[in-house]
C-alpha cells in the first residue's frame, strides 16, 4: 500500500462502524455485499476513484480529519476548514490533489485497432460499462432477494412495481405505485409465500443493460426459480434505473416488472430473446 492508502485506512478505521458500513454501501452503490469493517474499508479503497474523493465524503468529518492530524503530531492553526484540513493531510502524504488518483492515468492503447476512432472507442466503453452495471446489479439484487430482501431505500419515492404470476394458463397481477416500503414488502412476500430462490442467468443471453429514450438504464434479467433443490419455473424481470442526485448519485430503481412462471420441465437456461417481457427491449441501444 502507498502512504496515502495507509493513511486512508487509518482514517476510515477511526469511523464508527455504522458510519463506515453506510459509507461503503454508498461508494459501492449497494452492489457489493459487505459483512465486516475490513470488507468495508477494502470496498471503499477499491471503488473510489481517488483518495481525495474519500476525504471529501460527508462521513469524513472535520473532527475526524483533525483527530488524524493530531495523532500524527501535525499542528494546524485554528480555526480551520475541512478543505484546509484535507490539503494539510495531502501535504503530509506528499500528494497533490491533482496526483491523488490511485489509478494509472497513462492508459495503454497499444491494443487499440488503428481504424477505431475515439468516438467508436468511447461507445464501446459505454456499452461495456452498462453491461457491467447490469451484471453487477443483477448479482446484487437477487443476492438480497434470496436472503433478507431488498430495502425500500433502493427505490425512488414514485417507483412502480408490477408482478405477474403465471400458473395453469392464469395470470395474477399486482401493481404498486408511489410506495417504496410496500414495494419492498411485496417482493419479499412473493418470495416467502412460494419459498422461492432466484437463480439469474448472469450471461449475455440472460442479463443485459440498455438505454431507453429517456436516459434510464434498463436492466433485463431472466433465470430459473427454485424451491430448495427443485427447479419449479422461470422468471423475467426488467428494471429502470436512474442516479439519485440526493443520495450521492447512487443508482436507484425507478420502476420494475417481474414475471414469475410456474413450469414443469425446463430445458437449459432461460434467454432474454425468448421472453415477451424482455425481447422487445433488446432493440434499445446499449449505450
- Does any domain span residue 173? yes
Are 53 and 168 in a shared domain? no
Residue 123: phi, psi to the nearest 5? -65, -40
Q: How many whole angstroms separate alpha carbon 250 and alpha carbon 163?
A: 25
Are 136 and 48 in a shared domain? no
Are 183 and 81 in a shared domain? no
Beta-carbon contacts of 71 under 8 Å, excluding residues fewer than 6 positions away, are none
Tell me whether residue 271 is exposed, middle or buried, using C-beta atoms within 10 angstroms of its C-beta: 0 to 12, 13 to 18, 19 or more.
middle
Q: How many domains does the chain have?
A: 2
Are 131 and 200 in a shared domain? yes
Helix 3-13 / helix 37-47 crossing angle, nearest 10 deg: 140
- Does any domain span residue 207? yes
Question: Structure pTM?
Answer: 0.57
Query: Per-residue confidence of the chain (287 residues) as pLDDT tens digits?
Result: 678 889 999 999 999 999 999 898 888 877 788 899 999 999 999 888 778 889 988 889 999 999 999 999 999 988 888 888 998 999 898 876 544 444 433 323 223 333 433 333 334 434 457 888 899 899 989 988 888 788 888 999 999 999 999 988 789 999 999 999 999 999 999 998 889 999 999 988 999 999 888 889 999 999 999 998 788 999 999 999 998 887 777 889 999 999 999 887 777 788 999 888 998 888 888 76
Are 221 and 265 in a shared domain? yes
Are 200 and 88 in a shared domain? no
- Does any domain span residue 12? yes
> What DSSP designation does 50 have?
B
- For residue 175, the cross-strand partners are 162
Look at the alpha carbons of 260, 211, 131, 5 in this order and tell me if their dihedral is positive or negative: negative
Are 64 and 199 in a shared domain? no
Q: How many whole angstroms separate alpha carbon 255 and alpha carbon 167?
A: 24
258: closest CA among 286, 233, 283, 285? 233
Full residue range of the structural domain in which residue 260 is found: 122-283
Q: What is the CATH number of the domain that holds 220?
A: 3.10.450.50
Are 171 and 259 in a shared domain? yes
Q: How many whole angstroms separate alpha carbon 31 and alpha carbon 285?
A: 23
Are 126 and 56 in a shared domain? no
Beta-carbon contacts of 245 under 8 Å, excluding residues fewer than 6 positions away, are none
- Does any domain span residue 241? yes
Are 9 and 74 in a shared domain? yes
**Residue after which a domain boundary falls, among 53, 72, 92:** 92
Question: 53 near 249, Cβ under 8 Å?
Answer: no
Amino acid at each position: 500500500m502507498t502512504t496515502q492508502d495507509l493513511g486512508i485506512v487509518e482514517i476510515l478505521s477511526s469511523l464508527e462502524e455504522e458510519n463506515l458500513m453506510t459509507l461503503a454501501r454508498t461508494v459501492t452503490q449497494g452492489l457489493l455485499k459487505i459483512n465486516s469493517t475490513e470488507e468495508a474499508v477494502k470496498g471503499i479503497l477499491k471503488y473510489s476513484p481517488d483518495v481525495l474523493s474519500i476525504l471529501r465524503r460527508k462521513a469524513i468529518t472535520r473532527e475526524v480529519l483533525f483527530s488524524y492530524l493530531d495523532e500524527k503530531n501535525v499542528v494546524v492553526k485554528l480555526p480551520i476548514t475541512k478543505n484546509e484540513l484535507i490539503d494539510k493531510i495531502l501535504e503530509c502524504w506528499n500528494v497533490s490533489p491533482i496526483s491523488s488518483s490511485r489509478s494509472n492515468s497513462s492508459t495503454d492503447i497499444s491494443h487499440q485497432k488503428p481504424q477505431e476512432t475515439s468516438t467508436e472507442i468511447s461507445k464501446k466503453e459505454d456499452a461495456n460499462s452498462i453491461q457491467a452495471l447490469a451484471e453487477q446489479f443483477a448479482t446484487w439484487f437477487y443476492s438480497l432477494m434470496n436472503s433478507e430482501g431488498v430495502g425500500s431505500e433502493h427505490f425512488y419515492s414514485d417507483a412502480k412495481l408490477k408482478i405477474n404470476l403465471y400458473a395453469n394458463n392464469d395470470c395474477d397481477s399486482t401493481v404498486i405505485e408511489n410506495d417504496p416500503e410496500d414495494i419492498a414488502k411485496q417482493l419479499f412476500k412473493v418470495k416467502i409465500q412460494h419459498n422461492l430462490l432466484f437463480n439469474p442467468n448472469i450471461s449475455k443471453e440472460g442479463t443485459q443493460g440498455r438505454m431507453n429514450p429517456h436516459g434510464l438504464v434498463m436492466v433485463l434479467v431472466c433465470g430459473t426459480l427454485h424451491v430448495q433443490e427443485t427447479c419449479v419455473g422461470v422468471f423475467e424481470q426488467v428494471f429502470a434505473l436512474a442516479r439519485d442526485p440526493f443520495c450521492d448519485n447512487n443508482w436507484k430503481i425507478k420502476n420494475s416488472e417481474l414475471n414469475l412462471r410456474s413450469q414443469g420441465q425446463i430445458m437449459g437456461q432461460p434467454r432474454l430473446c425468448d421472453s415477451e417481457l424482455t425481447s422487445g427491449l433488446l432493440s434499445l441501444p446499449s449505450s
